[in-house]
Amino acid sequence: MTRIVNTSLMRKIKKHGAGRNLDVSACFNCGNCTAVCPLAADSGGFPRRVIRMAQVGMEQELLASEELWRCYACGECTQTCPRQADPAAFMAAARSYAIAGYDFTGLAALANRSALGNLAVFAVFSAVFSALLLSRMNPGHPNFPLFDFLPGEWIHQIGVALFVVVGLSMFSGIASMTWRIWRQSRSQGATLHFAALPGAVFSALSDALFHRRFQQCEAESDAEVLAAQPWYQRPWLVHASVMGGFLAMLLATTLDFLLKPIGSTVPPWYPMRILGTAGGIVCLYGLSIVLLRRAQGKEHPYKKSSFADWFFPVLLTVTVLTGILSELIVYLPSPTTFGHVVFFAHVVLAMDLVALLPLTKFAHVLYRTLALALFAWRHAPAAAAASVGVEA
């Protein structure tokens, strides 16, 4: 098989790294990171192999490695790396590079490579959504109900259009990743059995939902570090609260969209409202820990933060905060100008969040789950065959 070497691959990946001192070129391939990793046990071996791919410019192989997404950034490799080459930060940078690599528009590359690019993409999206919303805004009375100020119908129409565009974009990303991994595994002589697919998808989803590997990652890493953290601040729980809260809000919004008449007012004990509010609070709890840890910058995985590492949680926090504020404002007797501004901001930011999903760090929800599923799928037939062999 022909291999195409991208001689500037390492330089490109470094641009995605946190800080200017991602010194992964220092790696001398001793294999310490792979052997110390609590998660590398059941796969081909990461991070070292992925670092090697970057060092020798094997871009196609790098973009086709599920290993990138099997890492949960516990930082054990970075703490023990003999060259202090920071494999964990490299894996994060390579994931960011992969997100850019799976996106054909080039927007992801722009958004992930630099703070300026990230802000530019964000600003353009915000401007587009603002303009769309402003075009149908009722500027009149400050005491207008919120959905009279911004017509609910119009928000829904933009939303549907947005979901279609983002859905297509996500599909193209998924297709790109799947195609690369498929091609790679075929060249390695692997055979895939469709019968094993549902099981693989199910295991990946349950992995992602229940944070199984995330917990395994922490269970085996340094006991001292863990002992210093109370259980409610463990990274997996923090991540679970952000994710769980977000999913609750997403579910509430979707159900609202399907069931609740547009513009109608519901009491605070309306089930979807309770679900959304509870989700928002749980999500904010996780986000506040993430942001605090990143600001302190003391322990893995929060030691080094790229702009993208900051941008996504901050965007999510502001979106949730404005959402909760808008919710309160709905029940005020007369919304003020401030209320309108908050609501406007919330709608724009929520649209930004969706629009940026396939382009930013947010995309990991897509690619990590897909990678876990593909990995499980690729490795399922062998296991099944083995068990059959034992029975026979």
Partner 1 sequence: MNTHINSDFAPDALVIGAGIAGLQSALDLADQGLQVLLVERQASIGGHMIALSKVYPTLDCASCITTPKMSAVAHHPNITILTNTEVEGIETREEAHHVRLLQKPTYVNFDKCIGCRLCEYACDTEYPDPFEEGLGSVRAIAVPFTNAIPQKAVLNAEVCGTCGTCARVCPTGAIEYDQQPRKLTIRTDAVILASGFNLNALTIKPQFNAQRSRNIISPLMLERLLAPHGPYGRVLRPSDGKMPSSIAFVQCAGSRDESIGVSYCSRVCCMYAIKQAMLLSGALPLADITIYYMDIRAFGKGYEQFFQNAKAMGINFVRGKVARIDPVDGGDLSLRVETTEDAENPLQVRHHDLVVLAQGMIPGWQPAAITPVACASDGFIATPSLVAPTITTAPGIFVAGTAAGPKDIVDTIAEAGAAAMQASQYLHQKHSAILVA
| Contact set with partner 1 (CB under 8 A) | 28-36, 40-41, 44-45, 48-49, 79-84, 222, 224
Closest CA relative to residue 57, chosen from 113, 12, 104 = 12
Report which residue type is found at 74. C
CA angle (351 as vertex; 347, 354 as ends), nearest 5: 145
Q: Could you identify the residue written with the tokens 């071996």?
A: 45
Q: Could you identify the residue written with the tokens 């991540």?
A: 239
C-beta of 69 vs 367, nearer to partner 1:
69
C-beta of 30 vs 195, nearer to partner 1:
30
C-beta of 15 vs 83, nearer to partner 1:
83
Nearest approach in angstroms of CB 299 to partner 1 is: 15
CB atoms within 10 A of CB 390: 7
C-beta of 44 vs 57, nearer to partner 1:
44
C-beta of 77 vs 355, nearer to partner 1:
77
What is the distance between the alpha carbons of residues 327 and 309, in angstroms, rounded to a whole number? Answer: 28
Nearest approach in angstroms of CB 55 to partner 1 is: 13
Q: Which two tokens stand for residue 169?
A: 């974009």
Nearest approach in angstroms of CB 202 to partner 1 is: 26
C-beta of 28 vs 231, nearer to partner 1:
28
Phi, psi for residue 170 in degrees, rounded to 5: -65, -40
Nearest approach in angstroms of CB 47 to partner 1 is: 10
Report which residue type is found at 366. L
Nearest approach in angstroms of CB 120 to partner 1 is: 37
Nearest approach in angstroms of CB 45 to partner 1 is: 4
Nearest approach in angstroms of CB 31 to partner 1 is: 3
C-beta of 341 vs 382, nearer to partner 1:
382
Cβ pair 70, 46 in contact under 8 A: yes
C-beta of 69 vs 149, nearer to partner 1:
69
Q: Cis peptide before 301, with omega less than 30 degrees from 0?
A: yes
Nearest approach in angstroms of CB 78 to partner 1 is: 9
- Helix boundaries (H) for the chain: 9-15, 32-36, 48-56, 59-63, 67-70, 76-80, 87-102, 107-113, 115-135, 146-149, 152-187, 197-210, 212-219, 223-227, 235-259, 271-296, 307-330, 337-356, 364-391
DSSP string, 257-305: HHHSPTT----TT-HHHHHHHHHHHHHHHHHHHHHHHHHHT-STTSSS-
